[in-house]
């Protein structure tokens, strides 16, 4: 029973892990990036990438 439960947890974690992946080239405005960074939803690296992309245009 314990092995079955452990397998179920790993299986569900794999499914959730796949669904949480972010798209690679999603456009995000500077305002949206600032809000997400302050809320802790994105890393500083992702926050800085938004500025780099916007400087190119």
Q: Note whether 50 and 28 are within 8 A (CB).
A: yes
- Say what the pLDDT of residue 11 is: 84
Rounded to whole angstroms, how far apart are CA atoms 43 and 23?
15
- Say what the pLDDT of residue 5 is: 77
Q: Residue ranges of the domains in the chain?
A: 23-57
No. of helices (H) and no. of strands (E), the chain:
3, 0
The pLDDT of 6-31, averaged and rounded, is 72
**Using N-to-C axis directions, what is the helix angle for 44-56 and 30-38, rounded to 10°?**
170
Rounded to whole angstroms, how far apart are CA atoms 53 and 57?
7
Average pLDDT, the chain: 78
Q: Is the pLDDT of residue 27 over 60?
A: yes
Rounded to whole angstroms, how far apart are CA atoms 20 and 23?
10
Q: Which residue has the higher pLDDT, 50 or 57?
A: 50
């Amino acid at each position: 029973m314990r092995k079955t439960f452990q397998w179920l947890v790993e299986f569900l974690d794999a499914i959730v892990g796949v669904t949480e992946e972010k798209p690679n080239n999603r456009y995000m405005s500077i305002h949206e990036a600032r809000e997400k960074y302050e809320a802790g939803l994105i890393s500083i690296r992702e926050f800085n990438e938004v500025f780099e992309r916007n400087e190119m245009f």
